[in-house]
A and B are shown apart, each in its own frame.
Chain A
Amino acid sequence: MVVTSAPALPFRSRAAVGLGRTVRAASRRSGLGEGSVIGGRAALVADPALLARLGWWRRTTLVSGTNGKTTTNHLLAAALAAAEPGSSVAANLEGANMAPGVVAALAADPTAPLAALEVDERWLGHVLERLGPCAVVLLNLSRDQLDRTQEVRRVADGWRSALATLPTRHVVASADDPLVVWAAQRAANPVWVGTGAWWTQDAVGCPACAGRIRFAEGDSDGGWRCDDCGFARPARAVWIDGDDVVWADGRRVRLELTLPGRANAANAAMVLATVTADGAPPQQVAAALASVQEVAGRYRTTTVAGHRVRMLLAKNPAGWQEALQMLAPAVPVVTSINARIADGRDPSWLWDVPFEQLRGRFVVATGERRHDLAVRLAYAGVQHTTAQSLREAVQIATTPGSHGPGERPTGQVAADVIEHDPPVRTTTSLTVRVPDVELIANYTAFQDYLDDVGRHGSAEVPR
């Protein structure tokens, strides 16, 4: 049965949607926040079947993985809208990615025939079963939130059984992440995308036989293979070649993203593979991807006390590895670390992040766990200091030679002279000025900063 418009909802579901909307509005009015999670939770209590009722008839694409879900979903929503002009796309662009957040996104756009939804990796089976999506995009699986998710392999096993039993037209999966390949292997017809492998610490044990997986050395494009059972990278349908995305059938398109970094190039390649699988022309999709400039505050440049601060989010070692690679040369860095429940309460993962790469820069550590970070930076040989607030951190970072109020800079390597007349990076669509400060924050630290600078509207912070 092909359904192209929203079928009528039963009374109970309509009441649940209404309740969710009321709760959400109350939450927003009282300044609590976006309210999508709390509203979605209320609606699901009123009608536990609401997720399926709101979504089963749409052409839905789900995005899951440890890192890059929100960014990929923004790229996906833009690509779907461009591929089908005139069709609206329901999407949880703020990143609320468990069942309540997904319900809220669908309820907010009840007639949109398309849906782009990011789903928490532990919720994928649940949402998959209820929505019966056309496509699932599986990005990567690495360690996140140490004290909450004990074993990333358990997540991979959950995906594997869900994908084997619930047929999905397109399963688009990274070929360079052995855990993702293990999870997607039993899907009917997986589309393998070569995204490059840069974070391999969590995947050295073979998910098939517990043997040892070896990645080709010195080259992110060399594939991988298990020494013991021969489990290896599958043949890729799509991969990244320099600045281009290439299809095995010979098609090729230039990626001209506004978003920085190789991780975002990989995310874009996943979206290209997904949206073109249903016939959309690659050029048109690529142009839509280039138009995405920021993602729920990430990559946005804000102004704090006259200084341009670019905001990057990194939640775990794999994400930090990518964020460190995006930093503009020689710009001072502010890092903000919390360890609340949503972050994982144990920040010992800081020792798995290659902070040694920040040698030669000046780093200001802030956030509730700035002292954990300061000790890590000291042992990494990075010149640094601490600051109690983000604003103070930006002030210290932008004052060359300043040691900050009451702070003792340490570290074995002198900071380079801070470049205050920065070069300009040019992309096709717009010119991006290099920021005065790069801010990298983990999850709740980033949310705190967004609350400070405002989620919408002007990024200028009143003093």
Chain B
Amino acid sequence: MTAPHGDSRPAIVLLFPELLGTYGDGGNAVILAQRLRWRGIGCDVLTVGAGDAVPEGGTIYLLGGGEDGPQVQATRQLARSGAVHRAVEGGAVLFAVCAGMQIAGVTFPGTDGRPVDGLGLLDCTTERTDEPRAVGELWAEPVGAQTSLGSLTGFENHGGRTTPGPTAEILGTVRAGVGNGNGTEGVCATVGSGRAVGTYLHGPALARNPSLADRLLADALGTTLEPLPEVDAEADALRNERLAAVQAGHLDGVAHRTWRDRLLRRN
């Protein structure tokens, strides 16, 4: 088993968590690293702060959710550095959540709402609309090459609506919640010999969707991975509980609400 860049240890690169880490998305780095270690594959987690140099030798790069201002700041830095582009072209994987997916696309809304150029790794454009902010449980069924991932579950919290372009692969179709906004959820692309995957799923996404975590790892390492039945039984308990809540119509993520909670506005 080898990393894409020779025989060095795989590196999970968490990009700018102080700018794009509002929704616990840093957890995705913990999850990917643990899933490698549990399989006996040593790896490093590199946290890149705003202003620090972005390494080019990463195996998986992670972008999380955040506000408009930090989003523009992160994009500027990534565009200037070019390191993520070069790494993905060379076989690395970018996993970009929410604001991260928006900036990985072609354009996204800046602080004044006007389009700002994104990184262009994903074929999608994001716009601000008059529709209410999408906040709540998101459930999507994967399509195409993604079908084997199984149901995708997470919590979404975003104002933008994302339109996949003509060359875009989508991650899935929305069964509950908003997702991209046109009935689809997420955008993926093969870039050179690497992959870029964008999604609106928080939770963090890989805690709720271990099959997606393993897909990212397999794509990045160019190999298949053994199952992790012990931890994934716990992830399944979480997935089943969340999917059942969504299917019961609890889109706001609240499954249990008594008349007393309503009266006291405690719930």
B126 CB → nearest A CB, Å: 17
Contact string against B for A residues 349-393, beta-carbon threshold 8 Å, 1 for contact and 0 otherwise: 111100000000000000010011011101111000010000000
Instruction: Tell me if B135 counts as interface (CB < 8 A to partner A).
Output: yes
Among A272-280, A336-344, A396-404, the one that faces the other chain is: A336-344
Instruction: Tell me if B233 counts as interface (CB < 8 A to partner A).
Output: yes
A108 CB → nearest B CB, Å: 18
Instruction: Tell me if B266 counts as interface (CB < 8 A to partner A).
Output: yes
Q: Which parts of A135-170 form the interface with B (CB within 8 Å)?
A: 143, 146-147, 150-151
By a CB distance below 8 angstroms, the chain A residues around B261 are: 340
By a CB distance below 8 angstroms, the chain A residues around B241 are: 371
Q: Which parts of B9-27 form the interface with A (CB within 8 Å)?
A: 18-19, 21-27
Q: How many A-B residue pairs have CB under 8 A?
A: 119
By a CB distance below 8 angstroms, the chain B residues around A444 are: 266-267
Contact string against B for A residues 60-84, beta-carbon threshold 8 Å, 1 for contact and 0 otherwise: 0000000000000000000000000
Residue with the highest number of chain B CB atoms closer than 10 Å, among A143, A204, A378? A378
How many chain B residues have a CB neighbour from A under 8 Å?
50
Choice from B22, B231, B266 contacting A146 with Cβ under 8 Å: B22
CB pair B24 A342 closer than 8 Å? no
CB pair A37 B264 closer than 8 Å? yes
Choice from B67, B231, B257 contacting A378 with Cβ under 8 Å: B231
Q: Which parts of B184-214 form the interface with A (CB within 8 Å)?
A: 202-204, 207-208
CB pair B155 A379 closer than 8 Å? no
A261 CB → nearest B CB, Å: 24
CB pair A351 B24 closer than 8 Å? yes
B43 CB → nearest A CB, Å: 14
Contact string against A for B residues 215-259, beta-carbon threshold 8 Å, 1 for contact and 0 otherwise: 000000000000000110111011001100000000011111100
B63 CB → nearest A CB, Å: 15
CB pair B238 A372 closer than 8 Å? yes
A227 CB → nearest B CB, Å: 8
Choice from A205, A346, A408 contacting B157 with Cβ under 8 Å: A346
CB pair B18 A340 closer than 8 Å? no
Instruction: Tell me if B3 counts as interface (CB < 8 A to partner A).
Output: no
CB pair B260 A32 closer than 8 Å? yes
By a CB distance below 8 angstroms, the chain A residues around B25 are: 348, 351
By a CB distance below 8 angstroms, the chain B residues around A314 are: none
B51 CB → nearest A CB, Å: 6
Which residue of A has the minimal Cβ distance to B38? A412
For the complex, give the distance between the alpha carbons of A210 and B203 in Å: 27
For the complex, give the distance between the alpha carbons of A200 and B156 in Å: 26
Instruction: Tell me if B91 counts as interface (CB < 8 A to partner A).
Output: no
Which residue of B has the minimal Cβ distance to A356? B30
By a CB distance below 8 angstroms, the chain B residues around A205 are: 18-19, 70
Which residue of B has the minimal Cβ distance to A380? B30
By a CB distance below 8 angstroms, the chain B residues around A204 are: 18
By a CB distance below 8 angstroms, the chain B residues around A378 are: 231, 234
Residue with the highest number of chain B CB atoms closer than 10 Å, among A201, A210, A349, A371? A371
How many chain A residues have a CB neighbour from B under 8 Å?
40
A437 CB → nearest B CB, Å: 22
CB pair A146 B31 closer than 8 Å? no
Choice from A210, A342, A376 contacting B267 with Cβ under 8 Å: A342
B170 CB → nearest A CB, Å: 23
For the complex, give the distance between the alpha carbons of A221 and B67 in Å: 30
Choice from A201, A339, A352, A381 contacting B253 with Cβ under 8 Å: A339
Which residue of B has the minimal Cβ distance to A211? B51
CB pair A32 B234 closer than 8 Å? no
What would be 18 A-B contacts, judged by CB atoms less than 8 Å apart? A32-B264, A146-B22, A210-B73, A212-B51, A340-B256, A341-B265, A350-B24, A351-B24, A352-B26, A375-B207, A375-B208, A376-B27, A378-B234, A379-B30, A379-B31, A379-B231, A408-B233, A444-B266
Beyond A32-B263, A380-B30: 10 further Cβ-contacts under 8 Å?
A: A32-B260, A38-B264, A201-B18, A339-B253, A341-B265, A348-B155, A348-B203, A351-B30, A372-B238, A410-B234
Partner-A contacts on B (CB < 8 A): 18-19, 21-27, 30-31, 34, 49-51, 67, 69-70, 73, 135-136, 155, 157, 202-204, 207-208, 230-231, 233-235, 237-238, 241-242, 252-257, 260-261, 263-267
